């Protein structure tokens, strides 16, 4: 596993990390986002959407569960899923994400423990907030041959290897 930790002092820094990740992504890529409420999962996804040049405002899909943002430039669509209200892996499976996985970039918020089975190669992003200092950071880990075979790719995000 390849991992890097990036400080995120502002929401703009979180969007910038998302944009940097978005420039690395291609159709078939899966990102699993983990973090407490308000840690920046949707803000990061907004940066992804900007880099991928998708249509529509990227907002939390908490109540609709999943949104598809088509590309405006012929690239992959962004499938944005919020698994917070799902009861388990079977309900995630009901969304039939594997049908569009190869043609899209798929982001699953609250996906830890649910979405890893969608792809052997994925990025796992843990966003956290220090309760004492309110400082935010993200740990980005590459899983599978796509990411571990290129350790310098994540190093380019400007964080500290971990």
Identify which of 30, 66, 63 has the alpha carbon closest to the alpha carbon of residue 48.
Answer: 30
pTM of the model: 0.86
**What's the mean pLDDT when you consider all of the chain?**
83
Distance of alpha carbon 90 from alpha carbon 98, whole angstroms: 13
pLDDT tens string 85-103? 555 454 545 444 554 657 8
Percentage of the chain exceeding pLDDT 70: 83
pLDDT of residue 90: 47
Identify which of 39, 45, 147 has the alpha carbon closest to the alpha carbon of residue 106.
Answer: 45
pLDDT of residue 136: 94
| Sheet with 122-129: strands ordered across | 66-69, 77-82, 104-109, 30-35, 122-129, 136-143, 2-7, 160-161
Give the DSSP H/E element, type plus range, for residue 18: helix 11-22
Considering only 117-121, 140-144, 148-152, which range has the smallest mean pLDDT?
Answer: 148-152
Q: How is domain 8-148 classified at the architecture level of CATH?
A: 3-Layer(aba) Sandwich (3.40)
């Amino acid at each position: 596993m390849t991992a890097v930790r990036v400080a995120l002092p502002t929401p703009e820094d979180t969007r910038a990390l998302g944009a940097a990740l978005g420039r690395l992504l291609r159709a078939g890529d899966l990102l699993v986002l983990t973090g407490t409420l308000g840690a920046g999962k949707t803000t990061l996804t907004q940066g992804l959407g900007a880099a991928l040049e998708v249509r529509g405002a990227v907002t939390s899909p908490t109540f609709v569960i999943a949104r598809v943002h088509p590309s405006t430039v012929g690239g992959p669509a962004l499938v944005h899923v919020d698994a917070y209200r799902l009861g388990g892996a079977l309900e995630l499976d009901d969304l039939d994400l594997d049908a569009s996985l190869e043609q899209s970039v798929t982001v699953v918020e609250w996906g830890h423990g649910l979405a890893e089975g969608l792809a052997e190669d994925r990025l796992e992003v843990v966003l956290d907030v220090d309760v004492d200092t309110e400082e935010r950071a993200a740990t980005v880990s590459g899983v599978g041959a796509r990411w571990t075979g290129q350790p310098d790719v994540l190093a380019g995000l400007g964080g500290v290897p971990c």
